[in-house]
């Protein structure tokens, strides 16, 4: 007991200076200085700032003074925002190797980071998540509405210490379970602005990925979605609908044995499916509780890093983050966290007091806030059809009908826009995560190279170099989406040579076709005339022979006719090259045709 009190006293003394952020220029596992500006720190919330919320702040790589500022919340509840930074949409990721031997993981840069066009605050919440901690054990159990209030307090204090960003468009963003907390947080911030809280925030809207909205409703939508995706037979689905009447999971009547039997069949059909992404093979270690998996990994760091086991990169984050040198680099308060785990939702007390976040969406829409709701189209955990259903329940008219949205002439998903400034989109990728700008998924066009040197397009234009501006995404300003260009795309030398050779070959084929056509035309036209001439000569010879008895002098005229024809035939000369097996026919008029002999 005395040791625990001593730790609390030390934490109280240390946390007095925790609110000042610290700049991070190097991170273990990443070679060289970070190519972006990273700040970490704590913000105290509560009457006595008894809760210390840890954050990572990364400035936009484009224009920090004008680009939007995003607050990112991971789901769970209880998953660290480091998930977003290193796994989902941040500027770094773990390098996956085939023969991992337990050494410190390696970090590499990404090309699809949202920080290329936006400033992002990654926040660890609720208390006990990631590096966030409490200075006292006597705290109320975290809840949905309670977290909305704490996040509201956090962000106003953060802006007070970062006044340079007060005019930037501000959005609250996140995925998964944050779909419950974010709409409530937006409402809290909006009400705070109306009540005159300082500083006033330039709140524009919010973004949600695969959001949890109403858990009971979403759970019931899993069975229709599984049927639509071919995981259930028509007969089983019809039996489930008939016997369970649309109520599955917690609402199944224990006396309804028929429904229970059909539900057990559904469970067997989907038990070996990878629920977050049904098209990807299931990771074998994923069946154990999350904390047990991470402890298992830390004990056996030689676990195979196959591409099929998508959770591998998530698990090695525990190994990297618990290294002493990483804690020092991130300026984590010593002793504040016993052992960092990516998600604590299995053993963290939490009160779910928002049954449905749909009323919050309605209130935010009435206030005019923009929203983007996106869903992975192969996610069985939070099916996109459930998101579609609650959006329809808002009864807003459709302004832009269901249509595909494209990237480089390929369908990347489908989207629909509503009159309440809400846009819904499906995304064809993993677990609803927006990482579409990855060069792995979207490389430059074949035979081209992406050059990112500043003002390179001006140089290329001045020297007459053939190029195309490289569009890497979209930026939002004044309520409109504008293309973002970064560098140029230029054909490689090998590609240019190939194109020139291909063009020369096509010209050769065209000219050869023209010459062949003319040759055939002339030859067959001459033959037809020759046939007529021969027929006329034959008739003339018959007449001459008939008259030869009477007038032998006429034979001279016939002889001269034959000699004339022989002279015509001599106009065509043939030569044959044995080395190339090419026969060349030339006419005195200058026309020639080459024919390759087989």
Residues 543-552: pLDDT tens digits? 445 445 444 4
Residues 299-345: pLDDT tens digits? 444 444 444 455 666 678 888 998 999 999 999 998 898 888 888 85
Burial of 12 (0-12, 13-18, 19+ CB in 10 A): middle
Q: Which residues of the chain have pLDDT under 50?
A: 1-18, 285-308, 430-442, 476-481, 543-544, 546-547, 549-570, 598
Buried b (16+ CB within 10 A) or exposed e, 484-515: bebbbbbbeeeeeeeeeeeeeeeeeeeeeeee
**Strand ranges, E, within 19-149:** 22-24, 38-45, 51-58, 69-73, 92-94, 107-109, 119-123, 133-134
pLDDT value at position 142? 92
Separation of alpha carbons 505 and 499, rounded Å: 10
Provide CB contacts within 8 A for 369, sequence distance 6+.
Answer: 186, 190, 203, 204, 205, 206, 421
Q: Which of 218, 271, 221, 269 is nearest to 241 (CA)?
A: 221
Q: Which of 465, 463, 470 is nearest to 449 (CA)?
A: 470
Contact in structure between 191 and 149 (CB atoms under 8 Å): no
For the record, the structure tokens of 524 come out as 């067959």
Distance of CA 209 to the CA centre of its chain: 13
Q: Which of 415, 373, 377, 376 is nearest to 394 (CA)?
A: 373
Instruction: Give bridge partners of residue 207 from the DSSP assignment.
Output: 173, 372
Question: Which DSSP state fits 412?
Answer: E
pLDDT value at position 152? 97
Residues 359-385: pLDDT tens digits? 999 999 999 999 999 998 888 888 999
pLDDT value at position 171? 97
Number of H helices, E strands in the chain: 15, 20
Residues 464-504: pLDDT tens digits? 777 777 766 555 444 444 566 778 887 777 777 777 788 88
pLDDT value at position 27? 95
Number of C-beta neighbours around residue 271 at 10 A: 10
Q: Look at strands 203-209 and 448-451 and give their pairing.
A: unpaired
**Strand ranges, E, within 227-285:** none
pLDDT value at position 467? 73
pLDDT value at position 140? 84
Separation of alpha carbons 329 and 321, rounded Å: 10
Q: Look at strands 370-376 and 203-209 and give their pairing.
A: parallel
Which domains does the chain carry?
2-214+310-369 (3.40.50.1820), 232-270 (no CATH), 444-491 (no CATH), 495-596 (no CATH)
Contact in structure between 128 and 345 (CB atoms under 8 Å): no
pLDDT value at position 101? 60
Q: What angle do CA 450, 455, 461 make, to 5 degrees?
A: 85
Contact in structure between 571 and 582 (CB atoms under 8 Å): no
Number of C-beta neighbours around residue 516 at 10 A: 12
Burial of 590 (0-12, 13-18, 19+ CB in 10 A): exposed
pLDDT value at position 112? 86
Separation of alpha carbons 536 and 539, rounded Å: 5
pLDDT value at position 276? 79
Separation of alpha carbons 427 and 412, rounded Å: 6
Number of C-beta neighbours around residue 596 at 10 A: 9
Is 0.85 surpassed by the pTM of this model? no
């Amino acid at each position: 007991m005395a040791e625990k009190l001593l730790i609390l006293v030390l934490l109280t003394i240390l946390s007095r200076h925790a609110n000042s952020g610290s700049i991070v220029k190097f991170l273990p596992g990443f070679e060289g200085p970070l190519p972006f500006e990273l700040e970490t720190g704590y913000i105290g919330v509560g009457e006595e700032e008894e809760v210390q919320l840890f954050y990572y702040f990364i400035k936009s790589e484009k224009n920090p003074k004008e680009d939007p500022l995003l607050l990112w919340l991971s789901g769970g509840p209880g998953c660290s925002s480091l998930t977003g930074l290193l796994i989902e949409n941040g500027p770094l990721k773990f390098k996956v190797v085939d023969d991992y031997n337990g050494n410190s993981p390696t970090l590499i840069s990404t090309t699809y980071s949202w920080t290329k066009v936006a400033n992002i605050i990654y926040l660890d919440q609720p208390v006990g998540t990631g590096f966030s901690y409490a200075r006292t054990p006597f705290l109320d159990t975290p809840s949905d509405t309670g977290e909305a209030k704490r996040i509201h307090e956090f962000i106003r204090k953060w802006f007070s210490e970062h006044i340079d960003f007060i005019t930037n468009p501000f959005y609250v963003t996140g995925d998964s379970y944050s779909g419950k907390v974010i709409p409530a947080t937006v409402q809290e911030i909006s009400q705070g602005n109306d009540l005159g809280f300082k500083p006033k925030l330039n709140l524009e809207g919010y973004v949600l990925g695969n959001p949890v909205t109403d858990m009971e409703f979403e759970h019931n939508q899993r069975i229709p979605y599984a049927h639509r995706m071919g995981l259930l037979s028509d007969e089983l689905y019809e039996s489930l609908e008939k016997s369970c009447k649309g109520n599955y999971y917690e609402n199944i009547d224990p006396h309804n044995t028929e429904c229970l039997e059909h539900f057990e069949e559904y469970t067997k059909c989907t038990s070996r499916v990878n629920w977050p992404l049904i098209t990807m093979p299931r990771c074998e270690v994923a069946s154990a509780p999350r904390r047990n998996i991470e402890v298992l990994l830390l004990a056996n760091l030689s676990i195979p890093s196959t591409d099929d086991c998508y959770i591998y990169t998530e698990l090695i984050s525990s190994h990297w983050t618990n290294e002493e040198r990483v804690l020092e680099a991130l300026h984590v308060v010593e002793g504040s966290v016993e052992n960092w785990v990516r998600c604590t939702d299995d053993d963290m007390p939490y009160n779910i007091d928002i049954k449905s976040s749909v009323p919050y969406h309605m209130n935010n829409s009435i206030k005019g806030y923009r929203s983007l709701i996106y869903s992975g189209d192969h996610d069985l955990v939070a099916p996109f059809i459930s998101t579609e259903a609650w959006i329809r329940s808002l009864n807003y008219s459709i302004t832009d009908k269901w249509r595909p949205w494209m990237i480089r002439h390929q369908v990347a998903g489908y989207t629909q826009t509503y009159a309440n400034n809400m846009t819904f989109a499906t995304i064809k990728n993993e677990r609803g995560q927006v990482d579409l700008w990855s060069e792995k998924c979207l490389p430059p066009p074949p035979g081209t190279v992406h050059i990112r040197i500043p003002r390179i397009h001006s140089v290329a234009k001045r020297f007459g170099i053939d190029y195309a501006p490289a569009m890497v995404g979209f930026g939002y300003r004044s309520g409109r989406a504008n293309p973002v260009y970064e560098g140029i795309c230029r054909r490689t030398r090998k590609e240019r040579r190939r194109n020139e050779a291909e063009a020369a070959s096509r010209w050769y084929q065209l000219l050869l076709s023209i010459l062949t056509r003319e040759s055939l035309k002339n030859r067959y036209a001459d033959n037809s005339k020759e046939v007529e001439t021969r027929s006329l000569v034959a008739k003339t010879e018959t007449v001459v022979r008939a008259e030869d008895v009477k007038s032998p002098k006429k034979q001279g005229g016939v002889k001269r006719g034959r000699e004339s024809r022989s002279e015509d035939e001599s106009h065509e000369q043939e030569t044959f090259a044995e080395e190339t097996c090419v026969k060349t026919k030339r006419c005195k008029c200058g026309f020639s045709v080459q024919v390759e002999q087989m």
